[in-house]
Amino acid sequence: MEFVSTRNKNETVTASEGILKGLADNSGLYVPKEIPKLDIGMDKLSKMSYQDVAYEVMKLYYTDFTEEELRNCINNAYDSKFDTKEIAPIKESDGAFFLELFHGKTIAFKDMALSILPHLMITSARKNNVSNDIVILTATSGDTGKAALAGFADVKGTKIVVFYPDGGVSRIQELQMITTKGDNTKVVGIDGNFDEAQTGVKKMFTDADLNERIGKMGYQFSSANSINIGRLIPQVAYYVYAYAKMVDRNEISNGDLINVCVPTGNFGNILAAFYAKNMGVPIAKLICASNENKVLYDFFKTGVYDKNREFVLTNSPSMDILISSNLERLIHLSCGMDSDKNSKLMNELITTGKYEITDDMKSRLNDFYGDFATEEETCNTIRELYNKTGYIIDTHTAVAKCVYDKYVKATGDTTKTVIASTASPFKFTRSVMSAIDSKYDSWDDFDLVDELSSLGKVPVPGAIEEIREANILHDTKCKVNEMEEAVVEFLK
């Protein structure tokens, strides 16, 4: 399997090379030259553990890893760090199937890929005789940051710098990041939003002078964002696993179609579902759920991607994104993997803030359905689901549930649907509890945690308990144009 840049058909890498590099030249993203088909039947997959399903998926992409290397990475990732043996359990509630992707160390779906990325990266470094230390640069809208920090903290031969929008994440998310231990970790709050943080990180990757400068210091950059194929491919595994478990539980018969609904910001999570569909998983519709930053909804409706709009801070902050980086991979596919055409569109986005795809390209996106949920609708969904079933979901999952309900009402399609539940409600306790009852508005954050535990009849996750009394270890703030110097100072 070779991976090719979305912006240069002549730039190809192996899996290990792509994992190490993160971003392709000219800000391109690596994509597989073709999406491979599963070579094992769903009847066998349905009886496998999460770890074995993950191997059957990843082996088809990471073909320059030996079986021993890949299984070692998988087994080191999906172990007792997760609070359930299933790794990604499925809970049925109100007619939908919630794929709980938040049972890892930082209680968000990013753990599913970021638990394995350090192991893939260190293995890749050994395979490619890399002598430099690897510096992970990451921009986060809230969840990627802590999951990456947890994965890379104290990993020999690596350093990690995480940038987040100061004031643009929940207090729990911020505390999880700024209390992180590890001499190789650095957390920086920027005076800007996530898109500005992400653009700043991409700029550093492609800055030849900066890369030469840190190279002389014994370092090289890599990425832990979902632009890295070491992040994207592990996400494909849990959609294959979800279908297999639905078969195993007799919720569906092997071959029955399901829909998948994903709360979407940077587009990596729903793109992974698209890859799973193209590998042979019987997925019908991919329901793309947006919050009030509905750039993706507008795109699927009109074929015009336009980031020139007000940036809205919502109660689902991990989706507060106007530049959905992974959409480029879908655009690249929709134009027949024509890197020149794709580059032209991406340059238009840089220069004008928007681009428009052709009718032919739009016709290739019929698998997708887009809609959005307002703040009020998100809160109503949390409250109504709790009052009806007792099941409590976070704000991002509520966006997906709301959009799923809109989809059913608009289309009449009652196909069984898996909703990606991307974060624990404990990660957004204030927003969740205020949605359930306004009497909680004035409560202390950690009193809300205990009340949520009582109402939901679920224990407080360890990720929350450990930050109750934790010391703040990272207090660096900077402007967007100071991000580069913050990195260099840390490396010094």
Which residue in the list 21, 59, 105, 110 is annotated as catalytic? 110
Catalytic residue at 110?
yes
Query: Which H or E run includes 486?
Result: helix 483-491
Residue 12 burial (C-beta neighbours within 10 Å; 0-12, 13-18, 19+): middle
Sign for the pseudo-dihedral over CA of 159, 329, 34, 30: negative
**What is the arrangement of strands in the sheet containing 476-478, beginning at the earlier edge strand?**
219-223, 133-139, 158-165, 185-190, 476-478
Quickly list DSSP for 43-79.
Answer: HHHTTS-HHHHHHHHHTTT-TTS-HHHHHHHHHHHSS
Residue with tokens 């002078």: 209
Q: Is the distance from CB of 476 to CB of 491 less than 8 angstroms?
A: no
Report d(CA 410, CA 395) in Å as an integer.
22
Residue with tokens 């059913």: 408
Report d(CA 318, CA 305) in Å as an integer.
20
Of residues 102, 187, 106, the one with CA closest to residue 150: 106
Quickly list DSSP for 305-339.
Answer: EE--S-----SSGGG--S--TTHHHHHHHHTTT-H
Instruction: Spell out the residues 6+ positions from residue 360 whose beta carbon is closer than 8 angstroms to its own.
Output: none
Instruction: Spell out the residues 6+ positions from residue 218 whose beta carbon is closer than 8 angstroms to its own.
Output: 132, 133
What the block records as the tokens of 386 is 């709790």
* Distance set, CA 212 to CA 184, 207, 217, 487 (Å): 21, 9, 9, 14
Report d(CA 440, CA 4) in Å as an integer.
51
What the block records as the tokens of 323 is 């530049």
CA dihedral 342, 226, 267, 390 (to 10 degrees): 170
Report d(CA 256, CA 252) in Å as an integer.
6
**Catalytic positions:** 110
